[in-house]
Structure 1
């Protein structure tokens, strides 16, 4: 058993050792990320770690310890991704420009070409069959001169670049060579091996059965140009496009990331092939968000008033049934509605066809597709507004309605003069939050229409029901020419637009920010 003095000593020791241990592990991770060229993440981790060390190790920063986890989470999961996205928006980062310049150069320098058409057959022989360390030799056969060469022993455990000298022998080793299956399993190791003939010529793996004389295809000079050893072409860096080009302007892949300034923003706003769909999708996003807020508020407020009606019996049952859509996962409801609105076998078209003789093309006609989306989203969102309005209506003093009844006011007058003025101020921040949520309602669009039908004439993957967030996703991840830089620019514009609209709505409603 520890005495009180010993226990306090242990506690003091842990208070000193644990922070130092955490800092040590954190610094190790920073070094690892730095060595892997993840400079942004290394810088983020270093900043957060330094702030944590200051807050938890300095007595004068004692009061900040309780809010530091929330601030650190905000920095890591909100501010840093936002700044990282903004940084990407000023680059040409795309499917064609995934690498940075050094890695792109390394790719070119690893390319080889065959110096001659002559190939040498080879056989792989294991030297130690029953040990964990696989050592082998390569036997090379020259059919033209009818000669055989044998390499020195090498290990197949680690794929290390090595050059093996070849010795002239009279016959192949007296054992069974490795099968093609075994050669395929050790493909990576064999590709890193070079064989040196007695005349000094170097051979390299060119297939599962042959070695051949090869040489590097490109050589890098002091001006960062690539010299094609086979054709003599000189490839120069084009910083604007992020490609190596020859004298005829031909681009050579892979490209590399480079800074393009405001080019992505200029393209989004002023290039007709991009700005046209972007503006159309932006207008639809605003209309969709506003209509959703208005429709869900109207339905929720009407139902909340009905549930406040004193003559209504079974209010508990009605409340449960009306709130039930809020309890069902949204993606299940969306998929159910997708089946109901099916143009060929959906129940909605079956009823409309039976009653009115029409079968609307919900997923093919832009107007009908947008109408369907608003119907589904109103169904998904009205329970939330119903709950809010029920709570706010109960907070309105009953004396106001009694005085209104004495004056002979109609229900419509009560709604305009009493109910709305009483609930609108506390409801405004929640309506703004609902607007912002629907502005980025990615799940609804993706599961219900996938953005379709497509906008005719658009050069980017853009649909008439796409919101800006789904358009950004399709532009970044679903198009064959994935353009992460432009998608980041659009994401930045979305952030600015939502923030500006939220501030404007708060100002108009006279809510302090």
Structure 2
């Protein structure tokens, strides 16, 4: 007995590591994570990605705190959930709100330092241009520039090993070798464009065409204050306008005048994007109209899907109906087919000229509705297609809930002489409403942001007239935001799109609270 216990103890001690070794491995792993994430944080911060650098610091610090402390080590199992919530919910929300307070757009997406450096790299032709020729010699290629006073040539060079550098021009009387064709110049245009030629008077000339080099000068010069630029071509003084995020010319009184100079840079503009939604009629009117339509679309889609689904669920569970399994299979098929395939098929069916629906309507009634150009018909089409896609889900839910209702209740009501309507209003509906309410709220939220449906079927059209940003009569708030962000008439206005996304979050959150409050009252 003692020998058996001894062997078990030896086996147990041999299979487990000493506590000191476990501690060493644990802290080595934590140190490695800290070093790697710290290095990634420095890289992101150096590239101007401050938000992502801060996110990495928060997640890393939280991991080190939970896994490194004995008091919080028990929480290690919930760390993935906490990290996921921070990464996929809190951070996108905070980042979106932060963008809504800036002028971030396609023309304003650089930092001030980067925008300034781009302007300082611009050049202009500040002198005469000179014809040139490219020669191929035994020692390599040579450029020959014809100037009024003499002919100048570079030393031989190799295009394959030619970096962006400056080559000196020296006077020559003649040059041996074969003159290259224009095709050879075009083939080596990138290397020639990056090449600078230095004249004897230290003036730099660069390629200005397929046959000419010209004196190139910086377009802007930076002044001692580190912010003001002088246009060397026109003599204008430019200063950064931090209210709009652009360099702009100033007059003698220091007032900004004239056009802005691209590229712009990102600046904080406070609540200007939110104010645009309420002050710009070209944004306010479509926003309010789209918000009302989004609610109507969501309510009607859920309502029609529920009515049809409940009706069909009651029919396929009718005891005297033969072939119930076949009917169930056929009715569930629209839910089994991928939604994007069904939507594209319906888009073809509703085609104005070749769609089968218009062919049938024209043959039977002599009408051919404009499904994609008339706002009312387009909205009717969208609701119809979305109801077709949604009723199988509601039917499946109602089938399960109907099965859960005890048959004794219907038998008792039959004894009392109740009819079908009384059974539905007194038994079926009250028994189904409590478990069905949260599912209806989820369906409403899904349809409120049903981006795929709108973009694949109508792309938001038909378009509204007189709007500042692209908007359509079938646009939902989510598709309207997308179009502002990526199809804006004034460029990709991510700041305005983020402001509208923030308003959507507030509105959806308020509707969710109202729905939850109503659901809570119904369940009491």
User: What residue in structure 2 maps to residue 233 of structure 1?
Assistant: 236
SS at match of 2:230: strand
User: C-alpha separation between the residues in 2 aligned to 1:267 and 1:216?
Assistant: 38
Most deviating of 101-110 and 151-160:
151-160
Q: Cα gap change, 1:116/1:357 in structure 2, threshold over 3 Å: closer, same or farther?
A: same
Kept in 1: contact 2:470–2:489 (CA 8 A)? no
User: What residue in structure 2 maps to residue 450 of structure 1?
Assistant: 459
User: What residue in structure 1 maps to residue 414 of structure 2?
Assistant: 405
User: C-alpha separation between the residues in 1 aligned to 2:510 and 2:138?
Assistant: 72
Match of 2:477 among 460, 468, 472: 468
Deviation of residue 18 (structure 1)? Answer: 3.5
User: C-alpha separation between the residues in 2 aligned to 1:274 and 1:4?
Assistant: 73
User: C-alpha separation between the residues in 2 aligned to 1:472 and 1:488?
Assistant: 8
Kept in 2: contact 1:265–1:489 (CA 8 A)? yes
Q: Let me know the Cα RMSD of the aligned residues.
A: 2.7
Match of 1:205 among 190, 204, 207: 207
Deviations 1:457-511 (CA, angstroms, capped at 9, x unpaired): 2232111111111111111112342211111111111111111101111101216
Q: Does 1:381 align with 2:390?
A: yes
Match of 2:196 among 181, 189, 194: 194
SS at match of 1:249: strand
User: C-alpha separation between the residues in 1 aligned to 2:110 and 2:291?
Assistant: 32
SS at match of 1:59: coil
SS at match of 2:368: coil
Match of 1:139 among 143, 164, 168: 143
User: What residue in structure 1 maps to residue 374 of structure 2?
Assistant: 365
Most deviating of 378-387 and 111-120:
111-120
Deviation of residue 344 (structure 1)? Answer: 1.8
Most deviating of 186-195 and 380-389:
186-195
Deviation of residue 361 (structure 1)? Answer: 1.4
Q: Cα gap change, 1:418/1:14 in structure 2, threshold over 3 Å: closer, same or farther?
A: same
Match of 1:40 among 28, 48, 51: 51
Most deviating of 217-226 and 81-90:
217-226
User: What residue in structure 1 maps to residue 518 of structure 2?
Assistant: 508
SS at match of 1:22: helix
Deviation of residue 155 (structure 1)? Answer: 7.9
User: C-alpha separation between the residues in 2 aligned to 1:145 and 1:277?
Assistant: 68
Kept in 2: contact 1:296–1:381 (CA 8 A)? yes
Deviation of residue 5 (structure 1)? Answer: 4.7
Listed as ranges, the matches of 1:19-168 within 5 Å are 19-123=30-134, 138-151=142-155, 157=161, 159-160=163-164, 162-168=165-171
User: What residue in structure 2 maps to residue 490 of structure 1?
Assistant: 500
Q: Cα gap change, 1:258/1:349 in structure 2, threshold over 3 Å: closer, same or farther?
A: same
Most deviating of 31-40 and 362-371:
31-40
Deviation of residue 217 (structure 1)? Answer: 1.0
Q: Cα gap change, 1:117/1:165 in structure 2, threshold over 3 Å: closer, same or farther?
A: closer
User: C-alpha separation between the residues in 1 aligned to 2:180 and 2:48?
Assistant: 40
User: What residue in structure 2 maps to residue 171 of structure 1?
Assistant: 174
Q: Cα gap change, 1:198/1:320 in structure 2, threshold over 3 Å: closer, same or farther?
A: same
Segments of 5+ residues of structure 2 without an aligned counterpart are: 1-11, 252-256
Match of 2:365 among 356, 374, 379: 356
Deviation of residue 275 (structure 1)? Answer: 0.3
User: C-alpha separation between the residues in 1 aligned to 2:452 and 2:211?
Assistant: 52
Deviation of residue 374 (structure 1)? Answer: 0.7
SS at match of 1:8: coil
Kept in 2: contact 1:151–1:195 (CA 8 A)? no
Q: Cα gap change, 1:402/1:176 in structure 2, threshold over 3 Å: closer, same or farther?
A: farther
Q: Cα gap change, 1:495/1:125 in structure 2, threshold over 3 Å: closer, same or farther?
A: farther
Most deviating of 398-407 and 326-335:
398-407
Most deviating of 73-82 and 424-433:
73-82
Deviation of residue 449 (structure 1)? Answer: 0.9
SS at match of 2:441: helix
User: What residue in structure 2 maps to residue 133 of structure 1?
Assistant: none
Number of positions where the alignment pairs a residue of Structure 1 with one of Structure 2: 502
Kept in 1: contact 2:130–2:147 (CA 8 A)? no
Match of 2:246 among 237, 243, 248: 243
SS at match of 1:211: strand
Match of 2:216 among 214, 222, 238: 214
Q: Cα gap change, 1:124/1:414 in structure 2, threshold over 3 Å: closer, same or farther?
A: farther
Deviation of residue 367 (structure 1)? Answer: 0.8
User: C-alpha separation between the residues in 1 aligned to 2:47 and 2:180?
Assistant: 37
